Amino acid sequence: MSGHPRKLGRRSFALLLAALPFAAASQDYPTKPVRLVVPYSAGAITDLGARLVAERMSQILGQQVVVDNRAGAGTRIGMQLVASAPADGYTLLFANSVTHGTMPAMSKSLAVDPLKDFVPVARVFTYNSILVCHPSTPATTVRELVDYATKNPGKLTNATAGPGTGHDLMGGLFNSLTGANMLHVHYRGAAPALQDVLAGTANCIYGGGDVKQYVQSGKLKAFASGGSQRDPDFPNVPTMEEAGVKGFSITWWQGLAAPAGTPPAVVARLAAAANEALKSPDLLAKARTLSLIPAGSTPQQLGQVMRDDMALYAKIVKDARIEQQD
């Protein structure tokens, strides 16, 4: 019996020694560049938001935060890459309402669990989407758009960043609530989808700050904002509710997540850096031009947002009878 305490002490001492390198690494973090995986192509609103935060966080952390665009499969490619990366804080996901909301809700199955395979770090931005179409689209109001899409099923197209993305969900919700029949055309990211709408190859898209300049220049026409209030950058554009699409009210977020198992000290360091970045006057000015609203948070607060969004979009998909994707 007297040997047991000695063995237990040795075992505890061994565990303590094993943990010391990780504790030291957390205190010194970061000692090399941090990769921020953006599951979208360059130029999309999520990519633009990520680059704003990465630039300022690089200065705060003293190491480069490098944006790595891994678009495709409705954000699945980027998510899988980060979920399988070492949980050391050097590979992060620029998460959003798609990775932890619409995409899981619209998918029959996933290779990763958005809640179990990631740890939340911090929310950084919120924004509203606005429905815009090429000027050649035969409508000038939401009512006219619905009438045309109803009478000409499948003739008008809604360009999306991929199956399960926010574009996909909003288009599905719009069709469900209005009875319109707009055909979804999926692209490998929001940027190429937007380019085809600008070229007139596709008719419409749900955009954020990435479409602002094109609306202002007349290259695209705006129909309605998807949020609960009018977008301050488009004060004359009604909300979907105001335009007659009752039950359509969606606000998006962007933030940082890390692989599950990332040391709490590292998560805390990243969260502090992300929230500090949002105080930068230069970042705030640039975010304003993109219609991105700074909205910092703790890891716990972002975790609650993720859980709430997962439940919200699952309900929307079910209630609107939006078809799930493989």
Convert the pLDDT of each residue in 189-242 to its tens digit: 888 999 999 999 999 999 988 898 999 999 999 999 999 888 888 899 999 999
Q: Work out the average pLDDT over 109-113.
A: 93
Q: pLDDT confidence of 323, banded at 50, 70, 90?
A: confident
Are residues 236 and 153 in contact, defined by beta-carbon separation less than 8 angstroms? no
Looking at the fold, whether 182 and 139 belong to one and the same domain comes out as yes
Question: Is 159 within a domain?
Answer: yes
Looking at the fold, whether 184 and 38 belong to one and the same domain comes out as no
Torsion of CA 255, 259, 264, 266, to 10 degrees: -70
Question: What contacts 219, CB < 8 A, 6 or more positions away?
Answer: 135, 198
Question: Is 43 within a domain?
Answer: yes
10, pLDDT greater than 60 = no
Q: CATH number of the domain that 274 lies in?
A: 3.40.190.150
- Count of domains forming the chain: 2
Looking at the fold, whether 179 and 123 belong to one and the same domain comes out as no
Are residues 100 and 317 in contact, defined by beta-carbon separation less than 8 angstroms? no
DSSP string of 191-225?
Answer: HHHHHHHHHTSS-EEEESGGGHHHHHTTSSEEEEE
Looking at the fold, whether 137 and 113 belong to one and the same domain comes out as no
Question: Is 217 within a domain?
Answer: yes
Examine the fold and report which residue of 225, 244, 269 is the final residue of a domain before the chain moves on: 225
Of the candidates 110, 159, 155, 165, the residue with the CA atom closest to the CA atom of residue 133: 159
Looking at the fold, whether 314 and 263 belong to one and the same domain comes out as yes
92, pLDDT greater than 70 = yes
Looking at the fold, whether 277 and 134 belong to one and the same domain comes out as no
Q: For 122-174, what is each residue's pLDDT tens digit?
A: 999 999 999 999 999 999 999 999 999 999 999 999 999 888 788 888 999 99
pTM: 0.79
Q: Work out the average pLDDT over 75-97.
A: 97
12, pLDDT greater than 60 = no
Question: Is 108 within a domain?
Answer: yes
Looking at the fold, whether 306 and 286 belong to one and the same domain comes out as yes
Kind of pairing between the strands at 252-259 and 118-127: antiparallel
C-alpha 197/C-alpha 89 separation (Å) is 38
Looking at the fold, whether 137 and 108 belong to one and the same domain comes out as no
Question: Is 15 within a domain?
Answer: no
